[in-house]
Each structure stands twice: as structure tokens, then as C-alpha cells.
Amino acid sequence: MNLGLISFVALIYIGALFAIAYYGDREAERGRSLINTPYIYALSLTVYCTAWTFYGSVGRAATSGVDFLPIYLGPTIMAALWWFVLRKIIRISKIQHITSIADFIASRYGKSALLGGLVTAMAVLGVIPYISLQLKAVSYSFTLLWHYPNLALPDLDAIPILRDTGFYVALIMAAFAILFGTRHLDATEHHEGLVLAMAFESIVKLLTFLSVGVFVTFTLFRGTGDLFARAAMQPDLRRLFAFDQTPLAYQNWFWLILLSMFATLLLPRQFQMAVVENVNERHIETATWLFPFYLFVINLFVVPIALAGRLLVAGDVSPDMYVLLLPLERSANWLALLAFVGGISAATGMIIVETVALSTMLTNDLMMPLLLHANAFSASRDLSSFMLNLRRGAILLVVFLGYLFFRLTGKTFSMVSIGLISFAAVVQFAPALLGGIYWKGGTRRGALLGLLSGFLVWAYTLPLPLLAQTAGLGDAFIEAGPWGVSWLRPYALFGLTGYEPITHALFWSLLVNASLYLIGSLWSGESALEHRQAALFVDIFRHVGGSEQVQIWRGEASPLDLQTLMQRFLGRSRAEQLLSEYARTRGVTDWRALETDADMIEEVERQLAGVVGAASARVAVASIVTEEPLDITKVIHMLDETSQVVAYSRQLEQKSRELEAATAELREANRRLQELDRLKDEFISTVTHELRTPLTSIRALTEILYYNPDLPAAQRQQFLDIITKEIARLSRLINDVLDFAKLESKAYDWNLKPVNLKMLISDAFDATRQLFLERNITVRMELPDDAPDALTDNDLLMQVILNLLSNAAKFTTDQVTVRLRQEGDFLRVDVIDNGPGVDPAYRETIFEKFSQVPPPDGIRRQGTGLGLPISRAIITQLGGRIWVEGKPGQGATFSFTLPISPFKPSQETSHATT
């Protein structure tokens, strides 16, 4: 065919593509978005279908039948999950200003520049061959069209670069990508023209492929029935209709479906179109059915074309080219040209989008972090134009690398193998990415380990053997393994044989990748930033917007510093504009009046992230914001508005807790008062009872005497005696109660002076002598002369000793001993009787007022029930201790101690001391 004609048609198509892109961008500048429809979005996603689909599917169908299908079944399944997975990724990316998949993963794991660089490197290494494949397809189809009917493919080495169509295609693609892919500095802004052109491109490749399909099926044959019937007559073609009968065929299918599922999400160009260029989340709904439907339609004629090619095309020709050859065979040159345009369309679409995506990653996630780290820029320099030029340079670099790879290896590899190898490379992102949006536990170290190990296994099991073959030392390496170590054979690692190389590589790389990601994550901690990002990514739907983030990063920087920084990357006017907009949201008219806080730094970082990626933005901001090490007080001060609200509510909670505590205290005080009140009631009730008892005898006996004037004199005397005693008891009781009440209320007036205890005890004994004489009790006094005086209250102490003596007189059998001695700073007095003693169970109870302790021998003695309680109250307040000892049946020993001097009244009584 005429070279001029072919070139002309190709240039017409590419010209149209430029025009459409230009139109789209111009309309966008006028404020009218042409891509804001779900259909354009869904069609732009079909950049998934490349020249590999256009030519390669037929090639694969012609050699291995339905095996081409998994590559399209996978995306169909994935599309069903988009609403859950893709929507989440889009939401995260919008809020975080994500520019690429490398940026996404880096951002998730604490904005790690290292991780971003690694993902970028993997993507570039994995995808460059894929780009070269597109160039190869264009170059070969062009040559075929030109040289037909000469089917021999030209020797690349013989063609100088300047005469190679692939080279020109590469240049044009680079130009397109630069023109429409780097119009804005902010990589998160939509490339409207680019997207519109891709949607157009998707329709062109679909229509041209369908045209060839219809032509082949209905012109060369009488419909599909005829075609299949004729193919069925050839045994080797009949085999293509059915599934492979090898035992592992299903596993191969499974892995291929899985591979293409992830590829739909993870290929840089798919991420670019589906996430970065997405205008509206709801567009996913349409894409969920339209995208699989497109895949279904474009694959309708793959098998017919493949079969027809096998039936009609003679000679040793790559089946990849059947789409062109069949029309050529029947001299339908216009159709061949159309098919050629379709092929170009598929290839260029892929090259352009992939290049834009890769160049963004290269500049933002690889070059900028390195340059920033190396402090390569003088502080004053405006970097906005530098950034743009850097990205343009990256585009040229990517396209050039693609072309270089094609020149070096173009002869060797089939399209399908290279396509799958690229897929397998990007699928390594799956654990880190999916884990990152569903599992907060995933850490930077885990992601690094997983990615790196997966990539190494991929490199060892897929590209390495291919390269080895190219270098001519492949067979030994593949068959026997390196250095003859058989379990290291790259296609049969650890003895896993029987799988296709791609399945084998996928199995091992994903297994190692996912395992190390898990283990690494579980065994490593996360930084505060990582933790925050993890929470933000995983819980994205709980966050309304980015402003909800609780900032835990604080440093010193003036608004002017931030403005200078933004100006360097965004240009003066854009920086001014963004800062002013931000100031307005904070209710400030001039951004210079803003106070730099965590929220503002976050905003600047977010804006920069849109230009240079999250990792670079963080490095850039960190360069001017001196970050201070976190300590707990800082963390508290680091509250942004949200957390101030939290703090305020904490204060409220604190107040409410204090109130609760106060309430509890009041309740407790009230309870104690009630308890005291109850005790007082009880005391009064007991006192009343104790008063009634002597009164009862007095009244009864008085009445008896009154009504019986003629009682015998002796009986009369007995009754009068009782009455007298009971009246004495009554007055004693009243005195005791009053004393006790005084002691209890601490209202007693202490009269402190030196008291000689020997004398005091002797006086007390004299006062009670009658009691002992009545019962014939022997009293022994052991009172040393040298016992020192005690500074104490004479009368109160006398009351205690009287009490103990009269108790002893009441309970003893026939003997009482009183002993005085000095014990250190204390004097000790023991009153020992040989009466019934005190049951150990009641040794404390008897010191309680009106205690109802059964008499040890069943005999009730006269008493007020207040003697011992009063004694204890006195001794305690004089600073001593009183207690009782002795075994039941062997007498009781009542003892007390008393401090000699200086007398220190217990704290509660000090104010009452005179």
C-alpha cells in the first residue's frame, strides 16, 4: 500500500485526537466540563484494551483457543466490586490529593518517600515493556500494510531509527502527553482534553474491530454457523473451542482471572483514569455495567477472526496480525486501513495515559523527594515551571525507554507474554493497597517488605528467564536452574512444576508478598503519622472531609514561610489565590493575619501534594516547618479546632465528674449525719430504758409502801433501802450521761496539772473502801514511790480509777490487786481481780455504751452501763489506751496507760485545751 496514504490516514486520525483533546481543554477552561458524564468516564476506562487486545487476543485465540478470555473475565468481576473498592479509593484520593498509585501507597503508609519511590520504580520497570509492546504493534502493523503482500517482517536492526515508524509514533505520543497531560501543575486536576480523547479513542477501536469482525464473518463466510462448521472440520481448530484438558488448566484460569482483576485497578493508567480523572463517584455506577459490556462486545469477534485467519491465511505469519491480513487478503484495503487506525488508536491511548501516569509518579515520587532531600534547590527559586519541565522530561524519558526496549528486544517476545509480565508486576501492589484500605494494622515496614519481596520473586521468575534466553544462555538456566540447583529453576521454584510460567510466578510472588506484608506489619510498630493515615484510609467513609483529621504535627513557621513555599511550587498568583481562599474559610480576610497552626500546615501540604505528591509535599513542608519532637504536653497543645471541641467536651466531662464527686461526698456526709442521728436516737432510747429501770423499782416499791402501811418493819426497811439505792443509781446515771455527752462533744474543760498517781489511787481506794469491806475483799496495792507525776486532769483520771475499782469490787471473788508502774514515757495502771473474767468475744463490746453483755456468771450487777465507755473516752483523750485481758474464769485485768509528759492531747481536742 502507498506509504503516503497510510501516513496520511494515520496523521488524520492523530490530528483528530489532538483536536478533540484541545477542544475538551478549551471548553474546560471556559467552565464547561465535557467529561462530567458517566459514559465518558466508563469509555475512558477502556484504555484497558490496548493493541494487545486489538491484535493480541486474536493471536492468542488462534493458538490456544478460549485462553484469551480470563483477561476480560477478571475485569468483569472486578467491575462488580468497584462500588466497594474503587469508590473507597476515589474518596481517599480526593481527600488526600492523591496523584498516582505510588502516591496512594506512599501516603497510606505515613507518606513514605521510600515506599513511593519503590512503587514508582516497580511500575516503571514493569510497564515500560508494555509500552514498547504498543510501539511494536504500531510499527509492525504499519510495515505490514506498507509492504504487503511481502509478509516477512523487517529486521529492526536494518532499519535506521529515523526511518522507523515506531520512533515517530513514540515522538508524537510524547508530544500529545506533554501537551495534554502537563497543562496544569496540579496533577490532581482533571485532564479534560486527555480524557475526552481517550473516550473517542475507545469508540474508534471498538468500531474498527467490529467492522473487521462483521466483514470476516459475513463477507468471507456466511455467518458464524458457516465459519464454525468449517473450522470444526479441522481437528486442530476443533481443539480451540474446548477448554484445555490438562489437569492444571483451571488453576491457570483462576490465576489469570485474579491477575487481570487486580490489573484493572492497579495498572498506573487504570488508576489514572479510574481514580485521578474521576469527576464524580457516582459515575462508577454506570461504569460498573458499561465497562464489562464494552469488553464483551469487543471480544465478540475474536474467535471468528482467529478461526478465519487459521482457515484462510497461509504461510508463516504471526496470528497477531490476522486483523489486518484478512481484509488485505481480500483486497479490502480501506478496511485494512480502518483496522490499522483502530490498532493505532488502541496503542496510542495506552501509551499516552500510561506515560502521563508514569511521569507523574517519576517526578512526584522519585525525583522530587530525591532532589528535595539533597537540598538541590535554592530557597528563593520558583519551582513551578521547573516542576512542569521535569514532568515533561519524565514523559520523554518514559517514551524513550519504551522505544529503547522495543528496539532491543522487539524480535524476541510475543505480545501476550509481555502484557502478562507487566500485569504480574503491578499486581504486586495488591497486598499493600488493598490491605492499606481495609486493615489499619498494615505498616510501612510490612508494605516495603511485601512489595520488595514480591517484586524480586516476579523479576526472578518472569523477566529474568526471558532475558537469559535473549542473551542465549536461557536453556541451561531454565532447565537446570542457576548453578544446577534444581529447586531454584525460575519456572519451577521449589519444585512447583506443571504450571504456566505466569501462573507459577504469580503464585510465588503473591504468596511471598502477602505473607511478608502481613508478618512485617504485625512485627513492626507505626509512627503517629502512619497511624493517622491508616485510620484515615480505612475509615474514610466516616470522615466527611479532610478537616476532621486530628493533627498531631506541630512546628514553627510563619504564614509568609508557607506562602514562599507554595509560591515555589505553584507560582505566585496560584499561591496567593489558594491562601486567600483558605483564609476565607477561616474567617480571615488577609492570609497574612492567619496564625500558623496544624490545620493550615495540613492545607498547604495538601495543596502541594496535588503538585508534587504526598511524600514530596511532606518533605517540602518539613524543610521549613521545624518539627518538634512529640511529648505528651505538646500533643495536648496540638489541638486543632476539632480537638479543641474534644477538649472542651472533656472539660465538661471533668466538671460533671467533679459534680458527681461532690454529690457523692454530700451523699456520704448526709449518710453519716443520718447514721449519727440514728446513733443519737439509739442513745436516747437506751438512756431512757436505763432510766426507766431504777424508776420502775422506785415507783413499784413506793406504791407498795404507800398501800401497805402495816408492812413488817424489816420488810419496810428493805424496800426503803432499795429505793434509796435506786435513786442513787438514777442520779449517777444522769451524771454519767451528762459526762459522757460532754466527752463525746469534746466540750470538756481540761484542767491539766501534775498529778501523783500513787496518791490519786490511794484517794480513790479510800472512796470505795466500803464496797470492798462489804464483800470482804482483800485489796493489794503495788504503788512504787518513785513513779513520776503525770501532767493530766486529776478529776477525770479519778473518775476512771473509781470506775475500775468499783467494777473490780463488783465482779471479783475475794481479791483485787492494783499495780502502778512506769513504761517508758508512759505510766501504766493494772486493776486485777479474780472474778469470772471477760469472754474474749466481748473485750471490745464492754467499752461500748449500754452494751448488753451477758454477765459472765449470770448474776446481774448494779451499774449504769456507761462506766467503761466513759473511762475509755477519758483515757483516749488524755493520750493513753485502755483495755482488758485475762482468761474467762481466771479473773480480769483492766489496764490503762497514760503519757507522763509533755501531755499532748489528741488533735481533735487540742483546741479545747486550757
Partner 1 sequence: MPQPESPVPSHPPRVLIVDDEPNIIISIEFLLRQAGYTTQVAHSGEDALRILQQEPPDLVVLDIMLPGMDGFEVCQWIREHSEWNHVKIMMLTAKGRDAEISKGFALGADAYITKPFSTRHFVEEVHRLLTPPAEDRI
- 692 touches partner 1 by CB under 8 A: yes
- Asked if 635 interacts with partner 1 (CB under 8 A), we say no
Helix 384-409 crosses helix 113-147 at what angle (to 10 degrees)? 50
User: How far, in Å, CA of 513 to CA of 427, rounded?
Assistant: 10
Based on CB atoms, which residue is closest to partner 1, 376 or 695? 695
Number of residues that bind partner 1 (CB under 8 A): 27
Please select the residue that binds partner 1; options are 246, 486, 654, 688, rule is CB under 8 A: 688
Q: Which is nearer to partner 1, 374 or 841 (CB)?
A: 841
* DSSP character at residue 157: G
Instruction: Tell me, residue by residue from 163 to 182, as one string, x for binding to partner 1 by CB under 8 A and - for no binding.
Output: --------------------
* DSSP tag of 541: G
Place of cell 516542576: 387
Q: With respect to partner 1, which residue has the nearer C-beta, 317 or 727?
A: 727
Sign of the torsion formed by the C-alpha atoms of 61, 204, 136 and 194 = negative
Closest alpha carbon to 301 in 339, 263, 328? 339
Residue closer to partner 1 (CB basis): 573 or 696: 696
Q: For partner 1, which stretch binds (CB under 8 A), given 568-576, 690-698, 798-806, 824-832?
A: 690-698
All residues at 6 or more sequence positions from 69 whose CB lies less than 8 Å from its CB, including other chains: 299
**Could you say whether residue 700 binds partner 1 (CB under 8 A)?**
yes
Please give the angle made by the CA atoms of 55, 56 and 61, to the nearest 5 degrees: 110
Closest contact distance (angstroms) between CB of 709 and partner 1 is: 12
Binding flag, residue 376, partner 1 (CB under 8 A): no
The residue from 671, 689, 775, 904 that contacts partner 1 (CB under 8 A) is 689
Using CA atoms, how far apart are residues 276 and 189, in angstroms rounded to an integer? 8
* CA dihedral angle for residue 95, residue 101, residue 104, residue 110, rounded to 10 degrees: -160
CB atoms within 10 A of CB 223: 11
**Cβ 715 to partner 1 shortest distance, Å:** 8
Shortest separation between residue 765's beta carbon and partner 1, angstroms: 27
CB of 776 to partner 1, least distance (A): 20
Task: Round to whole Å and give the CA distance between 27 and 21.
Answer: 10
Q: Calculate the CA dihedral of residues 214, 219, 224, 229 and round it to 10 degrees.
A: -150
Nearer to partner 1, 393 or 856 (CB): 856
Q: What residues from 818 to 877 belong to the interface with partner 1 (CB under 8 A)?
A: 852-855, 858, 860
Q: Which three cell numbers stand for residue 336?
A: 485494512
**Cβ nearer to partner 1, comparing 732 with 758:** 732
What is the smallest separation between the CB atom of 733 and partner 1, expressed in angstroms? 13
Does residue number 693 form part of the binding site for partner 1 (CB under 8 A)?
Answer: yes
Give phi and psi for 381, each to the nearest 5: -70, 140
Cβ distance to partner 1 smaller for residue 470 or 693: 693
Q: Tell whether residue 720 is a contact of partner 1 (CB under 8 A).
A: no
Nearer to partner 1, 810 or 819 (CB): 810
- Between 150 and 708, CB nearer to partner 1: 708
Handedness of CA 808, 813, 818, 823 (dihedral sign): negative
Choose, by CB under 8 A, the member of 219, 580, 696, 731 that binds partner 1: 696
Instruction: Name which position in 26, 680, 699, 775 contacts partner 1 (CB under 8 A).
Output: 699
Identity of the residue numbered 37: T
Say how far apart CA 257 and CA 247 lie, in whole Å.
Answer: 17
Interaction of residue 697 with partner 1, rule CB under 8 A = yes
Instruction: Name the minimum Å distance from CB 862 to partner 1.
Output: 9
Residue 787 DSSP label: P
Strand arrangement, sheet containing 893-899: 778-782, 815-823, 826-833, 893-899, 881-885
246, exposed or middle or buried, with CB in 10 Å at 0-12, 13-18, 19+?
A: exposed
Nearer to partner 1, 164 or 690 (CB): 690
Q: How far is CA 814 from the centre of its chain?
A: 86
Span near partner 1 by CB under 8 A; candidates 46-54, 411-419, 717-725, 836-844: 717-725
- What whole-number distance in Å separates Cα of residue 235 and Cα of residue 221? 19
Q: State in angstroms the smallest separation of the CB of 671 from partner 1.
A: 23
Residue 701 contacts partner 1 per CB under 8 A:
yes
> Smallest gap, in angstroms, from Cβ of residue 868 to partner 1?
17
Of 701 and 767, which CB lies nearer to partner 1 in the complex structure? Answer: 701
Structural contact between residues 200 and 348, judged by C-beta atoms closer than 8 angstroms: no
Please tell me whether residue 889 binds partner 1 under the rule CB under 8 A. Answer: no
Choose which of 192, 605, 726, 736 interacts with partner 1 (CB under 8 A). 726
Distance CA 443, CA 555 (A): 25
- 611's enclosing H/E stretch is helix 598-612
Using CB under 8 A as the binding rule, whether residue 790 contacts partner 1 is answered as no
Tell whether residue 914 is a contact of partner 1 (CB under 8 A): no
Could you tell me which stretch among 153-161, 255-263, 507-515, 721-729 binds partner 1 (CB under 8 A)? 721-729
Which residues have CB under 8 Å from 696's CB, separation 6+?
Answer: none
Nearer to partner 1, 311 or 727 (CB): 727
Beta strands in 615-686 (DSSP E): 626-627
Task: Return residues touching partner 1 (CB under 8 A).
Answer: 688-689, 692-701, 703-704, 707-708, 718-719, 722, 725-726, 852-855, 858, 860
